[in-house]
Structure 1
């Protein structure tokens, strides 16, 4: 409860009238006592009036209210939340608030609501834009209701607790997937020669200009009395595994997201591309608070399993351990697969990462996706104007040379390497997968 504006004004007016008995003592002494009694009587009447109004407000039932919002949200994507209030058709002013998650302060709440008599239901719409993955919680809906005489206001809370999952924003991933598809179609006529592995028979069809004479099926041609060719497609039902680094280095903020978020987006694009190609995709989170293993899924709807499996993961305050991740993976998966390690590689990782690549390379095809900081890429284009610029550029050049040497060693160890800034990593990784697929390396 809190006093309303009308009660505060009445108290101020009553307090101002209290000056009349004091003034009467100097100018009209016989009137001082009667004025004092009248003032006290007015105070008593005001107290009774306010108390009666307070009791009426306390007996007032709490209005019904509900909240409507999507079953799932996406990071950085504004969504509309709708509050539905049962007003009873009264003509009042309510103050409405919602206990939404605190990661968005631009919702426009609390909001004053002037009710129109006769309208029993009112809807309030406000935007909410989640800024982090995981599970966000909405609490009760809060109303401030006036008393019948507008002397008091009461706070009422309507239980509307709800937990909503927040997934990565899949729209940039789908745009990157389209870019990968366009790139594949643009360069699709230049297929690398291969020895036949990675292809499986798809169908027989009529000969078309451009088909290789070696693919003519002469038995089918003789039966149908027209040229028939064998049509092949990339072999499906291969397995792609993503080993995603969940260590402290991935907590670095980059462009509004963390390095882990960028790595997760790249992993999702790779999984989306593989699932669309008919391959299966699994994932392993390593160096996190708890290792997370997601069994391989297949079909385009399998991406939902990966989204649910990683939507609440945040990087942990731990060092990245690549060799331990490789041993853990080897202990649980024995069939040949494409294993993609996504991290922000450091020069000091050389021994540990090379051990992991060699261990995995005995049985699997290994790819390392290295995330490069945008500042480092921009620094190499910086014009040196003073000593500080020269020192920064020289330090970056030294680190770049160390990273280049590590990349060279990884390639010599048999790993395929994709190095790109977070903005380009998802698309580059998808393109690398398509190249391996078309080359029959899986």
Structure 2
């Protein structure tokens, strides 16, 4: 594409006052105005056909394949002209909304010997699969009267994954804390389902583990130790529907759910269990196979990045029925969701009831501090009273749904968003210790 530059427009406008004076003082020479316009047009045409053409430059763009949310990354752009080259060129990178350009969308590349390169800083704003769709390149002709522009399509994909630095730090902290209190040792040996050996009873052990016959035979208290069952199946089902994409303290609920799921998955893989992900909204969107071992955490992280934001209503019946049909062994199903009204909660309850026959189901919901603050705020005008009444009603409906879930046999974890990951890990470890998996 070739189009006039600002210099050409200003040059054409600069002759207008002189042409006006000539037309007023010497009307017979009115055609001078046309002559000036034709002169500027001729210069612009010469500038357009001189120098490099839009199809001449070779464009190469390199970008990292993955990046964490909030992390900075750089796209390296290389430009090379085969023939006559300008002194510089401007670039604009066309990308999806998941990326941001903190230093502005455009950048100038200085060309030496017909080639040059520049790094365009980018910032990963939101989780998901971001795309670099095209690179816009433009430069001026030798006279600076025309812009020559080219759009080079790209097909680069950057997987923006949840930030796992906090996950690894918190996971290490949890193991350190567990070691200090002896929980790891008790999980490896001492709690479980398969008999391992007899050991002297120590203060703090469960009294129900005492073997009274062997204690009487050996004249001292002996307790049974059990081998912990490993290779349990843990499924993290993440609702990515409209309600879960609403912001909670500035961050979408689904992002907070993904972070909590990754922290729990990291601990579960470390403890020898198998982990899988299931994402859904109006229909199932992501189904992963079960993986085991700490090295598989990178795969879980990449799969979690593919759970996209959705504006559709959640179809619990289709999602949970599909999930139940794909599980061939007893599993702990951790469902991250949000119910905004009794009708959707009733549909969710009916859909999940079929999972209780074979599986252990844990619902994780995030506490809405905004509603709590509105309901507890001191009113100053009638609008405050209205908001407080509505917030209290929503909280009451929410409490009714949670109570019904618990009475139906489901496990429910309601937690503030900043502690949901740690509380979910504690809940999972407690279920494992109690041999409920």
Same fold (TM over 0.5): yes
Matching of residue 432 in structure 1 with residue 427 in structure 2:
yes
Cα distance per residue 1:175-204 (max 9 Å; x no partner)? 443454355345446969x984256869xx
Kept in 2, the 8 Å contact 1:93–1:112? The answer is no
Q: Give runs of aligned pairs for residues 328-367 of structure 1, distance below 5 A.
A: 328-345=322-339, 348=342, 351-355=346-350, 358-367=353-362
Kept in 2, the 8 Å contact 1:365–1:415? The answer is yes
Match of 1:313 in 2: 308
Cα distance per residue 1:1-55 (max 9 Å; x no partner)? 22234433443444444356446649xxxxx76xx89887776665544433322
With normalisation by structure 1, the TM-score equals 0.75
Between Structure 1 and Structure 2, the one with more strand by share is 2
Cα distance per residue 1:247-275 (max 9 Å; x no partner)? 43323232343323322332222222211
Match of 1:98 in 2: 93
Larger gyration radius, structure 1 or structure 2: 1
How far off its partner does 1:146 sit? 1.5
1:440 aligned counterpart, secondary structure: coil
Match of 1:226 in 2: none
d(CA) in 2 for partners of 1:183, 1:148 = 69
Which residue, out of 405, 409, 413, partners 1:410? Answer: 405
Match of 1:249 in 2: 243
**Which segment is superposed worse, 141-150 or 52-61?**
52-61
d(CA) in 1 for partners of 2:320, 2:37 = 81
Matching of residue 368 in structure 1 with residue 363 in structure 2:
yes
Kept in 2, the 8 Å contact 1:73–1:79? The answer is yes
With normalisation by structure 2, the TM-score equals 0.76
Give the number of aligned pairs. 412
Structure number with greater CO (CA < 8 Å, separation at least 6) is 1
2:57 aligned counterpart, secondary structure: coil
Change (3 A) 1:241 1:105: closer
Match of 2:19 in 1: 18
How far off its partner does 1:380 sit? 5.7
Match of 1:3 in 2: 4
Matching of residue 153 in structure 1 with residue 147 in structure 2:
yes
Match of 2:158 in 1: 164
Cα distance per residue 1:101-129 (max 9 Å; x no partner)? 2455644445363736x465433223323
Which residue, out of 282, 289, 292, partners 1:288? Answer: 282
Q: Which runs of 5+ in 2 are unaligned?
A: 211-223
Match of 2:416 in 1: 421
Please provide the CA RMSD for this pair: 4.2
Kept in 2, the 8 Å contact 1:285–1:293? The answer is yes
Kept in 2, the 8 Å contact 1:245–1:341? The answer is yes
Kept in 2, the 8 Å contact 1:287–1:318? The answer is yes
Which residue, out of 45, 64, 67, partners 1:70? Answer: 64
Which residue, out of 132, 141, 147, partners 1:138? Answer: 132
Kept in 1, the 8 Å contact 2:192–2:227? The answer is no
Change (3 A) 1:107 1:119: farther
Q: Give runs of aligned pairs for residues 249-268 of structure 1, distance below 5 A.
A: 249-268=243-262
Q: Which runs of 5+ in 1 are unaligned?
A: 27-31, 216-229
